[in-house]
Amino acid sequence: MYHTNSKREFSIKFQPQMQILRPSIHSRRANIIVKFQDLYGFAVEGNVDDVNILNEVREKVRQQGRVWWALEASKGANWYLLPQVSSLAEGIALKSSLKLSTLANAITLKRLIRKGIPPVLRPKVWFSLSGAAKKKSTVPESYYNDMTKAVEGKVTAATKQIDHDLPRTFPGHPWLDTQEGHAALRRVLVAYSFRDSDVGYCQGLNYVAALLLLVMKTEEDAFWMLAVLLENVLANDCYTNNLSGCHVEQRVFQDLLVKKCPRIAVHLEELEFDVSLVATEWFLCLFSKSLPSEVESPLFRTHFLSVAPTLSPSIMILMFSLTTNKFSIVPLLSRQLCGCGMSFSMRGQRFCFM
């Protein structure tokens, strides 16, 4: 299924002609660093172009919000949460529900999701369409509370590592980096470490869970989102003892890179650069560490809502954006590469990873 999806997204973003190098006035402007807070309270630093792009993204989200409200007015509140509609949108056809209107709603919903979910609706839509709601409904109401109470005060290798990482998860964030934020994040991570002892706690989950807390607003919903993510959405064993699922993802990603971005693949090969070295973080933190919320949450969304079976296509879209320079996230995406002094030279244009 994702082949057609990814093609469509690629065609929007991929332009065969490279843009010309920025003239000097732009490069001067590019050196002005602007600091601001993003949607979820993260401090973002970027040059003027980055800020302009993020503003464009925000404007699109606002426009998209208006589409959602209009549909809610005509189709009724929460129309997208009806089980028939949401399961169809997820690609599961319930035979009893194959009414034309339901089908139309499912198609509309899918299209809406791809274009973006307004921030206020994200908790509701993510929770329902990711399958987290279903997962939660299979256990008693008090599951999460009982769990956190039962594991209180227990010390394991996982809890030790979690305690070590709490202050190192988005330090400086106005809520996460407070006692309250640390305590909430700790409860979610510790509870999950006991729910799945194979995973326990893997560094990287701290960033994912923290972001889920910010989006979902409640600990319990964040916990269930984390559960559905690890148990149903991501490749198996992404975070278990030898990160084998993550290795599988890396291979898929490398194959896709060769197929879809052969020039980058060849260039990286010439440099003898193993892309998995930088991509590991992308797969394990789901970009929560490397992209601003405005860019990152659409990726989360596509992934959560089962539009793509592995993370690799989403990353490919990013790589495509990067090569076409259509979407100037290069500086944000590639901080890790800059120390390496890597540069891409494509079609005469030099892309520096700075």
Partner 1 sequence: MGAYRTDDDYDYLFKLVLIGDSGVGKSNLLSRFTRNEFSLESKSTIGVEFATRSIHVDDKVVKAQIWDTAGQERYRAITSAYYRGAVGALLVYDVTRHVTFENVERWLKELRDHTDSNIVIMLVGNKADLRHLRAVTTEDATAFAERENTFFMETSALESLNVENAFTEVLTQIYRVVSRKALEVGDDPAALPKGQTIAVGKDDVSAVKKVGCCSA
Which residues are at the interface with partner 1 (CB under 8 A)?
27, 161, 164-165, 167-172, 177, 202-204, 206-207, 240-244, 246-247, 274, 276-282, 284-285, 289, 336-341, 352, 354
| 70 C-beta neighbours (distance < 10 Å), count | 10
Shortest Cβ 9–partner 1 spacing (Å): 25
For partner 1, the closer of residues 84 and 334 by Cβ is: 334
For partner 1, the closer of residues 5 and 336 by Cβ is: 336
Shortest Cβ 237–partner 1 spacing (Å): 11
- Smallest CA-to-CA distance from 219 within 148, 141, 121 is with 148
Shortest Cβ 332–partner 1 spacing (Å): 15
- Smallest CA-to-CA distance from 125 within 225, 25, 30, 198 is with 225
The DSSP 8-state label assigned to residue 349 in this structure reads E
For partner 1, the closer of residues 47 and 108 by Cβ is: 47
Q: Which amino acid is located at 175 in the chain?
A: W
For partner 1, the closer of residues 9 and 165 by Cβ is: 165
Long-range contacts (CB closer than 8 Å, 24 or more residues apart) made by 5-11: 5/114, 5/307, 5/308, 5/313, 6/308, 6/313, 6/316, 6/317, 9/114, 9/317, 10/260, 10/316, 10/317, 10/320
Alpha-helical regions (H) of 130-285: 132-137, 143-150, 157-165, 179-195, 205-216, 219-228, 244-260, 262-270, 276-285
Shortest Cβ 352–partner 1 spacing (Å): 6
Shortest Cβ 159–partner 1 spacing (Å): 14
CA distance 353 to 306: 31
Contact 213, 188 (CB under 8 A): yes
Longest dimension (CA), the chain: 63
For partner 1, the closer of residues 216 and 246 by Cβ is: 246
For partner 1, the closer of residues 64 and 161 by Cβ is: 161
Shortest Cβ 30–partner 1 spacing (Å): 9
For partner 1, the closer of residues 28 and 263 by Cβ is: 28
Shortest Cβ 243–partner 1 spacing (Å): 6
